[in-house]
Every structure is written in C-alpha cells, then in structure tokens.
Amino acid sequence: MVYDEISDPFRRLVRIMQRLQEPGGCPWDLEQTHESLKPYMIEEAYEALDAIDAGDRESLKEELGDVLLQVIFHSVLSARNGGFTIDQVCEGTSTKMVRRHPHVFGETEAATAADVLNQWETLKKQERADKKNEKAAGTAFDDSQKSPNGKGEGLLAHVPRNLPALLRAQRLQEKAARVGFDWPDAVPVLDKIEEEIAELRSAINSGTEAQKREEFGDLMFALVNMARFLGIDAEDSTREADNKFQRRFEYMEKRSKEIGRPLDSMTLEEMDVLWNEIRSADKEQGKGETAG
C-alpha cells in the first residue's frame, strides 16, 4: 500500500486523510464541514479526559490519536476548499509558542508558574492589539470593542463561550483575579455561598422561574469560586461526583436484581438501604469518605 511507503507517521496520517477527501474517497468524509465536525472534536477531547481519569495509558494513546485526527481532518478540509493547511497550522502554533515563551527562547525571566501566566496574558493582549492594528491598516475598522474575530477586547472576552459551564466559570474567575478582582481568602467565599443559598431558598419559596434559575446559577458560580480557592478543578471534581453517583446507582441496580426486587418496585426507604450499603463499603475502602 502506498501509505506504508511514507515513513513519517504524522505525514502518513495526513496523506490518509487527504485521500479520504479526494475524488473517489470516502463519501462520508466528503460530506463533512467544519460545523458538522464540531461534536466529534468535543467528544474525542472528553474521551481523552476519561482515559486520563482512568489512568489508562494505552487508551490515552488511542484517544489522543483521535483528537489529532480531528485537527488533521479540519486542516485537510480547509486546504481542500482553498484555505489553510496543516503545515500552516503547525507553523503558526510553533511561532506562537516561541513568542509566548521568551523566558525559554529569549532574554526575559520567569521564575515561577505565576510569572509565566502573567507574561502569557500580557503577550496575548499585545497579539490581539497587533491584530487589531493590522485590520485597521487594511480596512476601515469600527473601533467598538470588537476584535477581528468578532470577540470583544476585554480581559474576559477570549474565554471561549462553548467551554463547559463550570470550566468557563473558573477561567473567568482566574482571569479577573489576575488584575486583583478577587476575594482576599476563602472565608468570605463561604459567606457568599451561604448568602446565595439563602437567596435561592427565597426564590424557591416565592420567586419566579427566572429568579430560581438566576439564583441557582449564582450559587454554582460561588461554589466554583470556592473550588478555585481550594485548588480544586470544579469541572474535574464534578465529573468525579458524577462517576461516583453512577457507580453507586449501578450497585443498587445489581443488588436489586440479586434480591429479586427491581428498583422501580422499591420504596425510597428500601432504595436508601441499598445506597447506604455502597456508601459504607466505599468508606471502608477509602472511596468518597465524606460523600453524601
């Protein structure tokens, strides 16, 4: 097979993807657009996260390949339609990484990870300003807080809106904190959480559906702030709680079959007995000792 003659693994994969999108290639691949491929990019990224969480290096290797495949797919699709190529994607990223690490490839210094992050934000801001100036030099530019890609130019404008909500909340808070807009420590964050709980309780008792939704969102945002102060990734910790709940519920399903009583025929009290069984087992094994 001709692809076996390409010794470079990356180039071989690129060529395979090109062939799939050439005349006589794969009908499905030929029908795809950047928009139609969006769900697959997200799905593959999360499958890679699952492999990391499971500590499964073989699965991670495979899932990272699937993530890479999505990058190449989009790049080959773009080139097929007269746009950027995979080489331009790689070159652009290489140039950006060198530019954003002057403490490694240049003369500046960054002694700590915090120094690196502050420098990174400064460089990104300069890059956005440069792009704006290039745009203004080429066309009549409406200076109305919009960047060339349609995003605002504020500190938070480049936190992607399509991030999972908890992750986006944490990124927004982190960026705001870099200019000093932050709580002094975790104690007032706890006070804020208690305040939001009280406001949610009030909305539940006498508020509109819109008020309930707003207060619930405010509570979640405050909880993410606490996660940040504790050094916890809110998205990861919630995913761990999801997995724990699923594992415990599946235990309940298994036990209900063993005793010949489907879950939907049990009372809530009977199901609580099974739930407490797996909770107790978890505590003995050191899993989720503080979980409810």
- Give the whole-angstrom CA distance, residue 233 versus residue 103: 27
Q: What is the mean pLDDT of residues 68-82?
A: 97
- Give the whole-angstrom CA distance, residue 186 versus residue 168: 20
User: Comparing 92-96, 194-198, 265-269, 282-286, which segment has the lowest mean pLDDT?
Assistant: 282-286
User: Comparing 4-18, 136-150, 161-175, which segment has the lowest mean pLDDT?
Assistant: 136-150
- Give the whole-angstrom CA distance, residue 68 versus residue 64: 6
Contact indicator for 237, 290 with CB cutoff of 8 Å: no
Overall fold of domain 2-99? Helix Hairpins (1.10.287)
Considering only CA atoms, which of 149, 262, 168 is closest in space to residue 221? 168
In this predicted model, which residue has the larger pLDDT, 131 or 2? 131
Considering only CA atoms, which of 211, 19, 204 is closest in space to residue 11? 19
Confidence of residue 133 (pLDDT cuts 50, 70, 90): confident
In this structure, the number of other CB atoms found within 10 A of the CB of residue 48 comes to 19
Contact indicator for 120, 111 with CB cutoff of 8 Å: no
Q: Phi-psi bin for 106: left (phi > 0), alpha (psi -120 to 50), beta?
A: beta
In this predicted model, which residue has the larger pLDDT, 197 or 145? 197
pLDDT in tens, 143-170: 334 433 445 668 898 888 888 999 999 9
* pLDDT value of residue 138: 61
In this predicted model, which residue has the larger pLDDT, 255 or 291? 255
Q: What is the mean pLDDT of residues 211-229?
A: 97
* pLDDT value of residue 180: 92
Q: What is the mean pLDDT of residues 248-276?
A: 95
* pLDDT value of residue 142: 41
Confidence of residue 141 (pLDDT cuts 50, 70, 90): very low
Q: What is the DSSP letter of 2?
A: G
Distant-in-sequence, close-in-space partners of 154: CB < 8 Å, separation ≥ 6: 145
Q: Mean pLDDT score of the chain, rounded to an integer?
A: 89
Q: What is the mean pLDDT of residues 57-66?
A: 97
- Give the whole-angstrom CA distance, residue 159 versus residue 58: 32
pLDDT in tens, 86-113: 999 999 999 999 999 999 999 899 899 9
- Give the whole-angstrom CA distance, residue 93 versus residue 106: 17
Confidence of residue 30 (pLDDT cuts 50, 70, 90): very high
Considering only CA atoms, which of 220, 235, 174 is closest in space to residue 45? 235
Count of helix runs (H) and strand runs (E) in the chain: 12, 0
Confidence of residue 286 (pLDDT cuts 50, 70, 90): confident
Q: What is the mean pLDDT of residues 276-284?
A: 93
Tokens of 25: 């290639």
Cα distance from N-terminal residue to C-terminal residue, the chain: 57
* pLDDT value of residue 134: 74
224: pLDDT strictly greater than 80: yes
**């066309």: which residue's tokens?**
139
Tokens of 156: 């938070």
* pLDDT value of residue 148: 39
